[in-house]
Chains A and B, each alone.
Chain A
Amino acid sequence: MGFNGITGAVNEPGEIPWEIVVIYFALALLFAFYYGKKSGGLKAFTTLDLVYIGIGAAFAVVWEFYIGSFIGRFLPSTPFIGVGFWGRMVIVFIVAALVRKVGSGMLTLFIFDLLSDIFHYGFGGEPMFFIYESLTYGLFVDIMIAITGGKLFGIGYVPKGNGDNIQRATMLTTVLAVVEGGILGFLWAIPDPIFYDGFIGPFIYAYAPNWAKITFHLEAFIPGDVVFGIIASILALRIVKAVGH
């Protein structure tokens, strides 16, 4: 038995090779640093961005640990439904839509983890969760911001030539939001089964990786996450408009 019950089991049969996990997180970290340097890193965020991130992270904590967890208890517990997780997804997407700078996803998840440590977990599992959540969920959002050139969910997108046709522009923005939200929702369904069931679980608790369970969890997470990704992107559009940013 290792420290604090962490056995540090690697290369168990069926476990994702540790080299792949290390390479993923090293590359993710490199991307974060590269983009951070290119855009000015933490300094690139205006004070307003930092306030948005703080409020969003607070909301995610309130939802995941207080409201969402109570609502979740009314529903049968199945991997198809993740009330707490969906709420966090919606809130992170809204913050990303308000800030629209690479790094906002990672920083929001980071602050969310810090706040949940202070209010709930008491720093259990750190620093692993900072690295894991920021560089998976947060990073996916940031990559989408990078790909869309800061026009996440079609915010600020002006269609060529027909910019004055408001109806068409609104429709195009909504379509962009639905597509991007759907893709992000799909991506958010992947880290938990792959990294948690496939590596971190066996690593910490030394349980045998079960690929039938991993595949089932993937299939179970994807539909709900995609639907909520789409709802989140549309909600983000509305809220960005209402905030007048």
Chain B
Amino acid sequence: MALLTSLYENPLLQNIISWYLVLFGVALPVLLIFWLIGLKGFVELTKYEKGTTFLYKVNPITKIAFGIVVMIVASVTIWWIGALLTLTILPLYLTLNNGLKKFGYVVMLTISSLVGSTWAIAPYTPPYILQQVFPNQQPIVVWVWPSYFSAMGYVPDLTLQALIYGVQTAFRVTATLVAALLLVVTTSVSDLFRSFTKIKVPLAITFSLMVGFKTIPKIFELLDTSIKMQMLRGLGYGKPRVIRTFYLIYGGIMAIVPTMVYLFRGAKSLAISADTRAFRAYQSRTLYKEPPITKYDYIMFGVIISLIILAIVTNMVGFGRSIPYVGL
């Protein structure tokens, strides 16, 4: 602590380290994740692949219900239940096609979300909220920001309690994130389409949604290709690895408009092919095959009901939501 105190009491060092923390304390973990996950990883995590294991056989509606219940449980219970849920759902990725790879990507995404969310919450949480969260604790100051940082909304002292509060709140986000992506990677667009038709969502909305659903992984693929093409032309050639990352980001931004134009131009062929198959020619749609409710769904229903019971019980024994979200 004495070392830290001597660092932030020197104005020059305080400024240098503070800006380092702002820029790289946030950006560096993200960059590391970007190097490790990359756009390929995002394609992997947002794209459906055919599979035969348990989760592929569950009805899409059941998976949506599971996601909603995880979200509710994480938001009405104490933070460590959200953390436990995250840690329980993560190994499910191992059961998928290419399980180890997907598991690796999703673990990195979770870590990146945790770091990012913690850093997005901790410096801004005012002391009076921390006092409510940790009522009988003396705040331990970890770092003191330069006074002008208050213009960016920073609380002058970064305390250990603020960091812990950041991590606790971040775990609520990760539980829903990993549950939501599980639906995305295990459900085919056509199954989701059938399920939405079954619960009578208007066809126009379902159709746009499905186009979006299909397009998200495609956007990552196209951006990846476009960045590679720019690299081939010599963008960031011969530059050190750290600087090249900034070229990568620059290339990514430059790739956005061409990707958009490419996709919007392709929209015409998709629309024509849908129209030639008499899309929306009739009021109601008849389906060849409806996603069945199988024994796997009943197992999931069991899990969902247990989660709801867990939420009720934890609230009754005093482990309900204890973190104030005040002002966030």
Cα-based distance from A110 to B76 in the complex (angstroms): 26
In the complex, which residues of chain B have a beta carbon less than 8 angstroms from the beta carbon of A110?
Answer: 205
Name the residue in A51, A58, A98, A122 with the highest tally of chain B Cβ atoms < 10 Å from its Cβ: A122
B interface residue count range (under 10 / 10 to 19 / 20 to 34 / 35 or more): 35 or more
In the complex, which residues of chain A have a beta carbon less than 8 angstroms from the beta carbon of B253?
Answer: 71
Give the distance to chain B from A126, nearest Cβ to Cβ, in Å.
Answer: 9
Of B76, B183, B213, B326, the contact of A207 (CB 8 Å cutoff): B326
Q: Is B216 an interface residue (CB 8 A)?
A: yes
Name the CB-closest residue of B to A45: B204
Tell me if B183 and A58 are in contact (CB < 8 A): no
Question: Which residues between 233 and 259 of chain B lie within 8 Å of chain A, taking CB atoms?
Answer: 249, 252-253, 256-257
Cα-based distance from A131 to B202 in the complex (angstroms): 17
Question: Which residues between 17 and 34 of chain B lie within 8 Å of chain A, taking CB atoms?
Answer: 22-23, 26-27, 30, 34
Give the distance to chain A from B185, nearest Cβ to Cβ, in Å.
Answer: 11
Q: Is A144 an interface residue (CB 8 A)?
A: no
In the complex, which residues of chain B have a beta carbon less than 8 angstroms from the beta carbon of A48?
Answer: 267-268, 271
Give the distance to chain B from A107, nearest Cβ to Cβ, in Å.
Answer: 7
Tell me if B180 and A69 are in contact (CB < 8 A): no
Give the distance to chain B from A54, nearest Cβ to Cβ, in Å.
Answer: 3
In the complex, which residues of chain B have a beta carbon less than 8 angstroms from the beta carbon of A245?
Answer: 264
In the complex, which residues of chain B have a beta carbon less than 8 angstroms from the beta carbon of A205?
Answer: 324-328
Q: Is B42 an interface residue (CB 8 A)?
A: yes
| Known A77-B153, A107-B205: A47·B264 in contact at CB below 8 Å | no
Give the distance to chain A from B304, nearest Cβ to Cβ, in Å.
Answer: 13
Number of residue pairs A-B, CB distance < 8 angstroms: 169
In the complex, which residues of chain B have a beta carbon less than 8 angstroms from the beta carbon of A145?
Answer: none
Name the CB-closest residue of B to A115: B212
Tell me if B75 and A124 are in contact (CB < 8 A): yes
Cα-based distance from A205 to B326 in the complex (angstroms): 6
Cα-based distance from A103 to B112 in the complex (angstroms): 37
Tell me if B260 and A57 are in contact (CB < 8 A): no
Other contacts beyond A55-B215, A62-B219: 13, CB < 8 A: A4-B72, A4-B76, A42-B204, A47-B207, A58-B215, A73-B26, A74-B27, A76-B152, A118-B180, A119-B180, A119-B184, A120-B176, A243-B265
Q: Which residues of B contact A (CB under 8 A)?
A: 22-23, 26-27, 30, 34, 42, 46, 64, 67-68, 70-72, 75-76, 116, 119-120, 124, 151-153, 176-177, 179-181, 183-184, 202, 204-205, 207-213, 215-216, 219-220, 249, 252-253, 256-257, 260-261, 263-265, 267-268, 270-271, 274-275, 279-280, 321, 324-328
Q: Which 4 A-B pairs have the closest CB atoms?
A: A54-B211, A122-B176, A58-B215, A48-B271
